[in-house]
Amino acid sequence: MSKTHTPPFHLAFPVIDLPKTETFYKNVIGCKIGRTSDRWIDFDFFGHQVTAHLVNEMPHVATNLVDEKNVPSSHFGAVLRWDDWHQLRDRLIPHVSEFLIGPYIRFKGEPGEQATMFITDPSGNGLEFKAFKNPEMLFAS
């Protein structure tokens, strides 16, 4: 696979309220709306296609302890540029009543230094947004 082009991925996820989901992803996260129906909505999620599917009830999601914080084992998000992450953080703060994990810097001063934060959408889906101080460290071991 070419290193010069990263193809967009597709992710489908459950939601229990399509109008609230549309408002959140469009107005809070900043996604553009794609195709829609009465049961699903496509979003342009930082260049990737994510689709919210209406369900009657949300599945239980287990958590995993990471850095002494409970992280939903099922979550998705985006790896942003450093400055873009900080801009998103500033845009989210007035709209998010509670962060699952508030914005902070992991591995400060180390090669894998990264900014991260976790929120939930209106249906309780976990979203992580992160940025690496040095983007070359994304897959470093």
pLDDT confidence of 88, banded at 50, 70, 90? very high
Residue 1 confidence (pLDDT) above 60? no
pLDDT digits (tens, 9 = 90+) for 29-71: 999 999 999 999 999 999 999 999 999 999 898 999 887 888 8
Structural element, H or E, at residue 76: strand 75-80
pLDDT digits (tens, 9 = 90+) for 3-34: 667 899 999 999 999 999 999 999 999 999 99
3-class SS of residue 26: helix
Task: Report d(CA 141, CA 137) in Å as an integer.
Answer: 8
pLDDT digits (tens, 9 = 90+) for 94-117: 998 889 999 999 999 888 899 999
Residue 140 confidence (pLDDT) above 90? no
Predicted confidence at residue 3, as pLDDT, reads: 63
109 Ramachandran zone, left/alpha/beta (phi>0; psi -120 to 50): left
pLDDT digits (tens, 9 = 90+) for 122-139: 999 999 999 998 888 888
What backbone torsions phi and psi does residue 39 show, to the nearest 5 degrees?
-120, -10
Domains of the chain, earliest start first: 10-137 (3.10.180.10)
